[in-house]
């Protein structure tokens, strides 16, 4: 019998029973809060990151409560509703800190017309999104994919005047903005909080092109009246598990079925091109800057790029968490060198950040033994993440004659991950799962043929890169080496594949 099952549920009326010396509770009256933010994507990252910032803002200004929904699943919305929107955030460090977050004042199931009404209401001043890379329904070139089944469905529903139940976030936003325009034309800020470069610009382009298909005036109005700032978000957020629920129960003395956890560190950098109604998030530690792109690029390529390399290489070595991978000297050394020698050099000229300090701090964050961040969680959606995290760096390095061996190794480790998952009949969490499984099933005993089949996936690999012999050879060498890793070899044995000398500058191997 777990401790939590015997305790009263976390709710507004049980808040008073929590010992405030052990657990922080909202320092404002819940019933004084009004909704100012509509959020799409009620996953752990939103609850651990943005909702924490808004929770601290609410202590100063009660008009920034959140109404949240998810595009697909209703479980979290229903569960949080029962808990009056309350849940516990565990900040993981040597001694964890626990805080009950009250910022989410309303949760609604997918496609609830009440959420559309929230988006359209003039009292809603900000929309935030955490829908992951695939939620934007973009082509590899970063434009709205009009062949995406959800986009097609939403466009035909909009054309028939039946768009109340959009299945994509882009369709939902376009419809809500149409209602806003009709209802008096109050613009709004729409803030993407996903790991995509130029996330706001991409979302704006997607929503405007969706709206343009049915109503050019609406497209123009959105482009003129709605702000889509770019943003960089950062906080390592391992998925919640039963152990977390028990720790939270022991601290709070109540049963919370929806706790979340993250590292103590968090950062949020937002572009200054916001409207006058934008919340004063600077008061709670958000950085507003005119140079988000540099922050975004450094974070996506250094942190997320290294994360993906760690995930696929670590899983090939039979390791489970990021901290365990970092405890292995061969893997830690490999990732550290990947960052120093292959990722940082493409950032050096664009950013004032001290990259050596940044790299060191990232390696420390990855190695934090208090954060059990599963590599399998990072490995999800590789087809969406690789282009953003690794392939751009590889393309730029190749063009400038810089080394790419370790990054190619990371790409190969992803391919082998897909092969192993397919062979084991495990569920591959990836929007391209069907295509990937088809390629993996055709696996031969020839690394070159296997790699060629993966590189033919145009949704992942741009043609120019896929045709580069240097890239092909690097991935093939990595592919063979990862097979050896799967058989228990150590990573050190493969340094020769990562040596820039293997691919002399400017000379493509034939």
> Binding pattern to ligand CS2, positions 143-182, x when CB under 6 A?
----------------------------------------
Count of beta carbons in the 10 Å neighbourhood of residue 250: 13
> Binding pattern to ligand CS2, positions 178-217, x when CB under 6 A?
-----------------x----------------------
CA gap 359, 151 in Å, rounded: 39
Question: Could you tell me which residues come within 8 angstroms of residue 460 by beta carbon, excluding any fewer than 6 positions away?
Answer: 140, 383, 386, 387, 391, 432, 454
Residue 129 in the binding site for ligand CS2 (CB under 6 A) = no
Q: How many residues bind ligand CS2 (CB under 6 A)?
A: 10
Question: Could you tell me which residues come within 8 angstroms of residue 493 by beta carbon, excluding any fewer than 6 positions away?
Answer: 481, 484
Count of beta carbons in the 10 Å neighbourhood of residue 182: 10
Closest among 233, 227, 230, 232 to 278, alpha carbons compared: 227
Q: Are the CB atoms for 262 and 92 separated by under 8 Å? A: yes
CA gap 407, 394 in Å, rounded: 7
Residue 235 in the binding site for ligand CS2 (CB under 6 A) = yes
CA–CA–CA angle 480, 482, 487 (5° rounding) = 105
| Number of residue whose CB is nearest ligand CS2 | 307
> Please, what is the minimum distance in Å from the beta carbon of residue 39 to ligand CS2?
17
Closest among 46, 20, 176 to 107, alpha carbons compared: 46
Residue 377 in the binding site for ligand CS2 (CB under 6 A) = yes
Nearer CB in complex with ligand CS2: 18/232: 232
Residue 307 in the binding site for ligand CS2 (CB under 6 A) = yes
Question: Could you tell me which residues come within 8 angstroms of residue 272 by beta carbon, excluding any fewer than 6 positions away?
Answer: 229, 288, 289, 290
* Helix (H) or strand (E) segment spanning residue 392: helix 392-399
> Please, what is the minimum distance in Å from the beta carbon of residue 378 to ligand CS2?
4
Nearer CB in complex with ligand CS2: 175/359: 359
> Please, what is the minimum distance in Å from the beta carbon of residue 325 to ligand CS2?
13
> Please, what is the minimum distance in Å from the beta carbon of residue 268 to ligand CS2?
10
SS3 call for 189: strand
Q: Are the CB atoms for 89 and 260 separated by under 8 Å? A: yes
Closest among 196, 204, 183 to 124, alpha carbons compared: 183
Residue 378 in the binding site for ligand CS2 (CB under 6 A) = yes
> Please, what is the minimum distance in Å from the beta carbon of residue 151 to ligand CS2?
24
Residue 313 in the binding site for ligand CS2 (CB under 6 A) = no
Candidate ranges 2-10, 184-192, 222-230, 303-311; the one touching ligand CS2 (CB under 6 A):
303-311
Taking CB under 6 A as the criterion, the residue among 91, 131, 236, 481 binding ligand CS2 is: 236
Nearer CB in complex with ligand CS2: 125/359: 359
> Please, what is the minimum distance in Å from the beta carbon of residue 17 to ligand CS2?
34
> Binding pattern to ligand CS2, positions 257-296, x when CB under 6 A?
----------------------------------------
Q: Are the CB atoms for 414 and 390 separated by under 8 Å? A: no
Helical spans, DSSP H, in 32-168: 44-48, 50-58, 75-82, 113-120, 149-159
Residue 304 in the binding site for ligand CS2 (CB under 6 A) = yes
Bridge partners of 37, per DSSP, are 66, 126
Nearer CB in complex with ligand CS2: 385/473: 385
> Please, what is the minimum distance in Å from the beta carbon of residue 395 to ligand CS2?
20
Residue 234 in the binding site for ligand CS2 (CB under 6 A) = yes
Nearer CB in complex with ligand CS2: 195/422: 195
Chain positions contacting ligand CS2, by CB under 6 A: 195, 234-236, 303-304, 307, 377-378, 385
């Amino acid at each position: 019998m777990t401790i939590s099952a015997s305790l009263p549920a976390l709710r507004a009326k049980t808040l008073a029973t929590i010992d405030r010396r052990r657990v922080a509770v909202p320092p404002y009256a819940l019933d004084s809060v009004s909704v100012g933010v509509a959020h799409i994507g009620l996953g752990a990252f939103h609850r651990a990151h943005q909702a924490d910032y808004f929770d601290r803002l609410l202590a100063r200004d009660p008009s920034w409560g959140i109404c949240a929904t998810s595009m697909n699943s209703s479980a979290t919305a229903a569960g949080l509703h029962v808990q009056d929107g309350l849940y516990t955030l565990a900040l993981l460090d040597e001694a964890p800190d626990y805080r009950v977050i009250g910022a989410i004042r309303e949760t609604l199931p997918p496609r609830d017309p009440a959420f559309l009404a929230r988006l359209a209401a003039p009292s809603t001043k900000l929309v935030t999104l955490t829908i992951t890379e695939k939620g934007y329904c973009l082509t590899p070139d970063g434009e709205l994919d009009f062949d995406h089944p959800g986009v097609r469905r939403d466009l035909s529903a909009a054309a028939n005047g039946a768009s109340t139940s959009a299945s994509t976030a882009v369709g939902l936003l376009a419809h809500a903005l149409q209602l806003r325009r009709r209802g008096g034309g109050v613009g709004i800020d729409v803030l993407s909080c996903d790991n995509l470069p130029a996330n706001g610009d991409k979302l704006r382009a997607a929503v405007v092109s969706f709206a343009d298909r049915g109503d050019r005036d609406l497209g123009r109005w959105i482009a003129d009246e709605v702000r889509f700032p770019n943003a960089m978000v950062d906080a390592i957020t391992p998925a919640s598990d039963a152990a977390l629920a028990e720790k939270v129960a022991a601290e709070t003395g109540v049963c919370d079925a929806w706790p979340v956890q993250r590292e103590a560190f968090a950062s949020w950098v937002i572009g200054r091109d916001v409207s006058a109604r934008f919340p004063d998030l600077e008061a709670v530690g958000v950085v507003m800057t005119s140079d988000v792109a540099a922050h975004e690029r450094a974070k996506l390529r250094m942190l997320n790029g290294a994360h993906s390399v760690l995930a696929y290489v670590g899983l090939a070595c039979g390791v489970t968490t990021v901290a365990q991978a970092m405890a292995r000297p061969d893997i830690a050394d490999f990732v550290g060198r990947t960052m120093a020698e292959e990722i940082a050099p493409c950032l050096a000229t664009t950013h004032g950040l001290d990259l050596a300090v940044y790299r060191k701090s990232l390696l420390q964050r990855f190695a934090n033994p208090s954060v059990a961040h599963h590599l399998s969680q990072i490995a999800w959606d590789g087809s969406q993440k690789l282009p953003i995290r690794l392939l751009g760096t590889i393309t730029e390095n190749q063009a400038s004659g810089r080394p790419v061996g370790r990054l190619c190794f990371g790409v190969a480790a992803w391919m082998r991950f897909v092969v192993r998952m397919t062979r084991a009949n495990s569920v591959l969490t990836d929007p391209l799962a069907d295509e990937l499984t088809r390629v993996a099933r055709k696996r031969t005993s020839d690394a070159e043929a296997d790699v060629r089949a993966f590189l033919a996936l145009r949704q992942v690999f741009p043609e120019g890169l896929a045709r580069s012999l240097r890239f092909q050879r690097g991935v093939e060498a990595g592919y063979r080496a990862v097979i050896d890793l799967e058989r228990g070899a150590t990573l050190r044995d493969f340094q020769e594949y990562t040596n820039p000398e293997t691919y002399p500058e400017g000379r493509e191997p034939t």
